[in-house]
Chains A and B, each alone.
Chain A
Amino acid sequence: MDGRPLLQVEGVTLRFGGVAALQDVSLEVRAGELVSVIGPNGAGKTSLFNCICGLYRPQRGRVLLDGQDVTRASPDVIARSGVARTFQNLELFRGMTVLDNLLLGCHRHFRTPVWEVAVWSRRAREEEVRQRERAEAILEFLELQAYRDRPVAALPHGVQRVVELGRALTSQPRLLLLDEPSAGLVAEEKDELKYRLQDARRVFGLTVVLVEHDLRMVMDLSERVVVLDHGEVIAQGPPEAVQRDPKVVEAYLGVGA
Chain B
Amino acid sequence: MTLLLQYVANGLAAGSLYALVALGIVLLYRCSRVLNFAHGDLATLGVFLAFSGVARGWPYGLALLTGLAGAAAVSATFYRLLIKPVRQATALSLVITTLGFALFLSGVMVWVWGTDTKVFPFPLSEVRVFRLGGVVVSELTAGSLAVGLVLVAGLSALVQRTRLGLAMRAVAQNPVAAQLLGVPAGQVLAATWAVAGALGAAAGMLLAPAVLLDPFMMLDPFLKGFAAAVLGGMDSLPGAVAGGLILGVAESVFAGYVSVKYKATLSFVVIVAVLLFRPEGLLGRPFHRRV
Query: Residues on A close to B: CB < 8 A?
Result: 53, 55, 74-76, 79-80, 84-85, 87, 91-96, 100, 103-105, 107-108, 110, 112, 114, 117-118, 120, 124, 128, 167, 171
> What are 7 A-B pairs with beta-carbon distances under 8 A?
A76-B183, A96-B169, A107-B166, A108-B183, A117-B162, A117-B164, A118-B164
Q: Which residues of A contact B20 (CB under 8 A)?
A: none
Stretch among B49-57, B174-182, B260-268, B269-277 lining the A interface:
B174-182
Q: Is the CB of B183 within 8 A of A107?
A: yes
Q: Which residues of B contact A79 (CB under 8 A)?
A: 179-182
How far is it, in angstroms, between the C-alpha of A103 and the C-alpha of B163 when the chains are bound?
Answer: 9
Among B161-194, those with CB < 8 Å from A are 162-164, 166-167, 169-170, 173-174, 176-185, 191
Q: Is the CB of B177 within 8 A of A76?
A: no
Q: Is the CB of B163 within 8 A of A117?
A: yes
Q: Is the CB of B173 within 8 A of A95?
A: yes
CB-nearest residue of chain A to B185: A76
Q: Is the CB of A107 within 8 A of B163?
A: yes
Known: A107-B163, A110-B163. A76 touches B179 (CB 8 A): yes
How far is it, in angstroms, between the C-alpha of A23 and the C-alpha of B191 when the chains are bound?
Answer: 40
CB-nearest residue of chain A to B183: A107
CB-nearest residue of chain B to A170: B181
**Nearest-Cβ distance from residue A151 to partner chain B, whole angstroms:** 11
**Nearest-Cβ distance from residue A82 to partner chain B, whole angstroms:** 9
How far is it, in angstroms, between the C-alpha of A147 and the C-alpha of B282 when the chains are bound?
Answer: 29
Q: Is the CB of B177 within 8 A of A92?
A: yes
**Nearest-Cβ distance from residue B193 to partner chain A, whole angstroms:** 13
Q: Is the CB of B164 within 8 A of A171?
A: no
CB-nearest residue of chain B to A74: B179
Q: Is the CB of B164 within 8 A of A91?
A: no
Q: Is the CB of A93 within 8 A of B185?
A: no
CB-nearest residue of chain A to B195: A118
A91: contacting residue among B169, B176, B183, CB under 8 A: B176
How far is it, in angstroms, between the C-alpha of A101 and the C-alpha of B170 when the chains are bound?
Answer: 9
How far is it, in angstroms, between the C-alpha of A103 and the C-alpha of B170 when the chains are bound?
Answer: 11
Number of interface residues of B (CB under 8 A): 21
If over half of B's interface residues share one DSSP class (helix, strand or loop), that class is named, otherwise mixed; here it is: helix
CB-nearest residue of chain A to B176: A91
Q: Which residues of A contact B184 (CB under 8 A)?
A: 76
Known: A53-B180, A76-B183, A76-B184. A104 touches B170 (CB 8 A): yes
A107: contacting residue among B162, B173, B174, B182, CB under 8 A: B182
Instruction: Mark contacts of B138-163 with chain A using CB atoms, 8 A cut-off: 1 yes-contact digit, 0 otherwise.
Output: 00000000000000000000100011
Q: Is the CB of A128 within 8 A of B169?
A: no
Q: Is the CB of B173 within 8 A of A75?
A: no
Q: Is the CB of B191 within 8 A of A114?
A: yes
Q: Is the CB of A75 within 8 A of B180?
A: yes
Q: Is the CB of B180 within 8 A of A167?
A: no
- Identify the 3 closest CB pairs spanning chains A and B, nearest first: A108-B182, A79-B182, A91-B177
**Nearest-Cβ distance from residue A133 to partner chain B, whole angstroms:** 15
A114: contacting residue among B164, B178, B179, CB under 8 A: B164
How far is it, in angstroms, between the C-alpha of A124 and the C-alpha of B185 when the chains are bound?
Answer: 20
Q: Is the CB of A91 within 8 A of B179?
A: no
Known: A74-B179, A75-B176, A91-B176. 18 other contacts (CB 8 A): A55-B180, A75-B180, A76-B184, A79-B179, A84-B180, A84-B181, A91-B177, A91-B180, A92-B174, A93-B169, A93-B174, A93-B178, A100-B169, A105-B181, A110-B163, A117-B162, A118-B158, A118-B164
Q: Which residues of B contact A124 (CB under 8 A)?
A: 163
How far is it, in angstroms, between the C-alpha of A124 and the C-alpha of B165 when the chains are bound?
Answer: 14
Q: Which residues of A contact B177 (CB under 8 A)?
A: 87, 91-93
Q: Which residues of A contact B158 (CB under 8 A)?
A: 118
Q: Which residues of A contact B185 (CB under 8 A)?
A: 76
Q: Is the CB of B169 within 8 A of A55?
A: no
Q: Which residues of B contact A94 (CB under 8 A)?
A: 173-174
Q: Which residues of A contact B178 (CB under 8 A)?
A: 93, 104
Q: Is the CB of A171 within 8 A of B181?
A: yes
Among B232-256, those with CB < 8 Å from A are none
